[in-house]
């Protein structure tokens, strides 16, 4: 489903991602974990080309693009690959002047040119899926953070992407509101939604993910099934990081 080969991302002389090679199966959930600045969010954004890789290959389904230093890729090819994905951001990024249902409808109507009736029906079904149908006509400013993030998930799912990308989807929320989002993402995982998420939230990763990729300084230190990486990591750096996250989350009262 998703295959990243020899992927590299540079900002000037700074190498942010270095020789990333990873495959993510269809209907799987992969958690990208690691310290801040390790490359998790950049890797996520390279998958849907919000950041253009310096080198390497990105494949999603049948769409494949290869990048070379100094080379150019057409905007049409970028758009074809990007349309395979839906993105959920850390800070929700809902349109404040649109109601919940209008936020979900927006891309369907303006980008995909759906008729409004069809887009509204799709939006209502997705709001129901994430437990937000009763807030369909509410403004974002009147919603809690957890509610806003659930609307953002519905919006990302609206065009039926092949993969859902989540960039720290719970980090802006307190533990109680974060649990709402964990539950929704867990439901989507159970339904077979392919997901890749960058997260510091061990509760989210432990409940939802099947595979874990641990990144530090732009390289993959360790990858494998969630039970192995969290329960019996093979590298000392991974062990230290997981132990630190457990301590932080236990002290915050969130647990795993």
On the question of pLDDT at 256 being above 60, the answer is no
State how far the Cα of 174 lies from the Cα of 171, in Å rounded to an integer: 8
Q: φ and ψ at 75, to 5 degrees? A: -65, -30
Q: What is the pLDDT of residues 57-114, one digit of tens each?
A: 999 988 999 999 888 899 999 999 999 999 999 889 999 999 999 999 999 999 999 9
Average the pLDDT over 210-227 and give the result.
Answer: 94
According to the model, what pLDDT value does residue 148 have? Answer: 96
Beta strands in 122-239 (DSSP E): 163-167, 195-198, 211-216, 219-225
* In the chain, alpha helices (H): 40-47, 75-82, 100-110, 116-129, 145-157, 175-190, 202-208, 226-231, 236-251
CB atoms inside a 10 Å sphere around CB 41: 19
Radius of gyration over alpha carbons of the chain, in Å? Answer: 18
Whether residue 32 contacts residue 40, with contact meaning beta carbons closer than 8 Å, is answered with: yes
Work out the burial of residue 190: count CB atoms within 10 Å of its CB; fewer than 13 is exposed, 13-18 middle, 19 or more buried. Answer: exposed
Nearest of 215, 237, 242, 217 to residue 227 by alpha carbon? 242
The encoded tokens of residue 38 equal: 């390790």
Nearest of 133, 250, 236, 142 to residue 202 by alpha carbon? 250
The encoded tokens of residue 69 equal: 């230093």
Q: What is the pLDDT of residues 11-58, one digit of tens each?
A: 988 999 999 999 999 999 999 999 988 999 999 999 999 999 999 999
Percent residues over pLDDT 90 in the chain: 76
Q: φ and ψ at 124, to 5 degrees? A: -65, -40
On the question of pLDDT at 156 being above 90, the answer is yes
Domain positions in the chain: 16-38+163-256, 94-161
On the question of pLDDT at 177 being above 50, the answer is yes
CATH 3.40.50.720, domain 16-38+163-256, yes or no: no
Nearest of 243, 251, 193, 249 to residue 214 by alpha carbon? 243
Look at residue 227 and give its three-state secondary structure. helix
Distances in whole angstroms, Cα of residue 52 to Cα of each of 12, 33, 72, 79: 13, 21, 10, 12
State how far the Cα of 53 lies from the Cα of 47, in Å rounded to an integer: 9
What's the whole-number average pLDDT of the chain? 92
Using DSSP bridges, classify how beta strands 29-33 and 211-216 pair: parallel, antiparallel or unpaired. parallel
Q: What is the pLDDT of residues 197-214, one digit of tens each?
A: 999 888 889 889 999 999
According to the model, what pLDDT value does residue 252 have? Answer: 64
| Helix axis angle, 145-157 to 175-190, nearest 10° | 20
On the question of pLDDT at 244 being above 80, the answer is yes
Whether residue 1 contacts residue 196, with contact meaning beta carbons closer than 8 Å, is answered with: no
* pLDDT confidence bin for 253, thresholds 50/70/90: low
By mean pLDDT, which of 2-6, 10-14, 115-119 is the weakest? Answer: 10-14
State how far the Cα of 200 lies from the Cα of 205, in Å rounded to an integer: 8
DSSP symbol at 37: T
């Amino acid at each position: 489903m998703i295959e990243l080969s020899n992927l590299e991302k540079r900002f000037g002389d700074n190498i942010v991602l270095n020789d990333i090679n990873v495959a993510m199966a269809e209907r799987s959930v992969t958690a990208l974990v690691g310290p801040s600045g390790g490359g998790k969010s950049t890797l996520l954004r390279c998958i849907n080309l919000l950041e253009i890789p310096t080198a390497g290959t990105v494949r999603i389904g049948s769409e494949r693009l290869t990048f070379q230093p100094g080379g150019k890729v057409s905007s049409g090819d970028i758009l074809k690959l990007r349309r395979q994905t839906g993105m959920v951001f850390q800070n929700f990024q809902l349109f404040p002047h649109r109601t919940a249902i209008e936020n979900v409808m927006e891309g369907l109507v303006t980008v995909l040119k759906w008729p409004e009736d069809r887009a509204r029906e799709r939006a209502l079904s997705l709001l129901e899926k994430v437990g937000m149908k009763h807030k369909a006509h509410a403004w974002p400013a009147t919603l809690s953070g957890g509610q806003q993030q659930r609307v953002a998930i519905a919006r990302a799912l609206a065009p039926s992407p092949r993969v859902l990308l989540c960039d720290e989807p719970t980090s802006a929320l307190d533990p109680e509101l974060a649990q709402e989002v964990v539950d929704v993402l867990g439901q989507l995982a159970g339904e077979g939604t392919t997901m890749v998420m960058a997260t510091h939230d061990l509760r989210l990763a432990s409940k939802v993910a099947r595979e874990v990729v641990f990144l530090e300084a732009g390289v993959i230190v360790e990858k494998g099934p969630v039970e192995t990486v969290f329960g019996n990591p093979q590298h000392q750096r991974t062990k230290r990081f997981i132990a630190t996250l457990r301590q932080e989350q236990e002290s915050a009262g969130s647990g795993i």
